[in-house]
Amino acid sequence: MVEEVAVPLDIRLRFGRAAVQVVADRIGARVLHIKGDAVHTSLRPTSTGTDVDILVAPADVSKLDRAIRREGWRLYSTFAYGSPFGHAQTYLHDTWGYLDLHRSFPGIRLDAAAAFDVLDRQGFLIDEAGVPCRVPGIDAQAVLLLLNAARAGGRHNADVAWIWDRAATADRERLTELADELRARVALAAATADLEQYRGARDYALWKSISEGGSRSAEWWGRIRAATSARDALALIAQAPRVNIERLTHDLGRAPTRGEVFREFLQRQRRMMAEMRAWTRKPRT
């Protein structure tokens, strides 16, 4: 009568959201559920995703990280190596699957704490398997989906078509105003094929590279140019040539040997140098 059988993915994801929310409630961490089934149905032409995504108020990231690890979530990839933006950390739980914990959102240049407050401003509660979970307001959800589409380099064009292409002028203006408040106009433009209007912007090169599928080194140079401070830029420069040991571990299914790290380092350097040569030869347009 009681079985532990395969559970449909959409139900497992709902339960996963509920589970992480229960932990957040216990410690008083501010969390917004984003992407996937947390997205309002009016904005969701695509599938419900394969993992749980949450945006956490920056001041609460450390304590939520500690709390979920105590409850069985294992760190899968870190902020440093999880994505080129360093914005999210991925965890894996034996029952709930993958969880992406975002401390910021790619494309938003407003300070992460202030951005969280803006996204939370019109937020509301949704029910996830009996547990109330807070989500951003609907306009904020729309902007996040568009920014996500920009980062996906066109893979999520269904979201752009659904949200932006169908939007009335007044709706576009409202979303653009919100993007301005989040200092996300350039990334929004990358999603809406309007990027060339921002050629002089600090983060133009970054979004040009990402949205058009540029080389990895072009993306790194874009990130360095887009850094908001010299300190951040230096940190990126230091990080750029390092080997992503986490990714190598996942690819190999085990910890890499020193020799494998060494070889990967050389291969990565070679790739970047080849890309740099191609990049510097390419006529600037």
Partner 1 sequence: MNAARVAVWESDDIVYVAPLPQGPITVLEGSAARVWSAAHVGPIEDAAERVAGATGLPVEEIRASVDEFVGILEARGLLPPR
Binding site for partner 1 (CB under 8 A): 1-5, 7-8, 11-12, 14-15, 18-20, 22-23, 71-72, 93-96, 128-131
Angle at 222 (CA atoms; ends 112, 101), nearest 5 degrees: 35
85 with 78: CB under 8 angstroms? no
Q: Which residue has the tokens 């080389």?
A: 215
Closer by beta carbon to partner 1, 129 or else 245: 129
Structure tokens at 141: 């959800």
Question: C-beta of 97: minimal distance to partner 1 in Å?
Answer: 11
* All residues at 6 or more sequence positions from 221 whose CB lies less than 8 Å from its CB, including other chains: 205, 209, 279
Query: Least Å distance between CB 54 and partner 1?
Result: 13
Q: Which residue lies nearer to partner 1 by CB, 1 or 238?
A: 1
To partner 1, the closest distance from the beta carbon of 15 in angstroms equals 5
The residue among 4 and 196 lying less far from partner 1, judged by its C-beta, is 4
With respect to partner 1, which residue has the nearer C-beta, 9 or 261?
9
CA distance 180 to 174: 10
C-beta of 14: minimal distance to partner 1 in Å?
Answer: 6
Residue whose entry in the numeric block shows the structure tokens 């992503």? 244
Identify which of residues 22 and 161 has a Cβ nearer to partner 1 in the complex.
22
Q: How far is the CB of 16 from partner 1 (least distance, A)?
A: 9
How far is CA 160 from each of CA 43, 80, 225, 260, rounded to the nearest angstrom? 10, 29, 26, 41
Amino acid at 19: A
* The two three-digit tokens of residue 13, written as one number: 């994801």
